[in-house]
Amino acid sequence: MDTIARVMQLADERNLSLFKLSQLCDVSYSTLKNAEMRGSQLGVPTIERICVALGVTLSDFFAESGSAYTKQ
């Protein structure tokens, strides 16, 4: 999974710039911008901080778009 693309998708859905997201999750803007420019992946601790700021679970973050999880 392209983690930075997923972060940008979630931020875009919430009308957040990378700069504003960096402030909300206390991750440096340069970390997010460099990952975007280089196409590099984000580490789990960074993703966890972003998830908390965006109000999503790690499970939701890594869920394939379009797939639904149903509890049985």
Distance from chain centroid for Cα 5 = 8
Q: If DSSP states are collapsed to H, E and C, what string results for the chain?
A: CCHHHHHHHHHHHCCCCHHHHHHHHCCCHHHHHHHHHHCCCCCHHHHHHHHHHHCCCHHHHHCCCCCCCCCC
Quote the pTM value: 0.82
Over the stretch 9-64, which tens digit does the pLDDT of each residue have?
A: 999 999 999 999 999 999 999 999 999 999 899 999 999 999 999 999 999 999 96
Q: Cα(25)–Cα(51) distance, rounded to whole angstroms?
A: 8
Domains in the chain and their CATH numbers?
Answer: 3-59 (1.10.260.40)
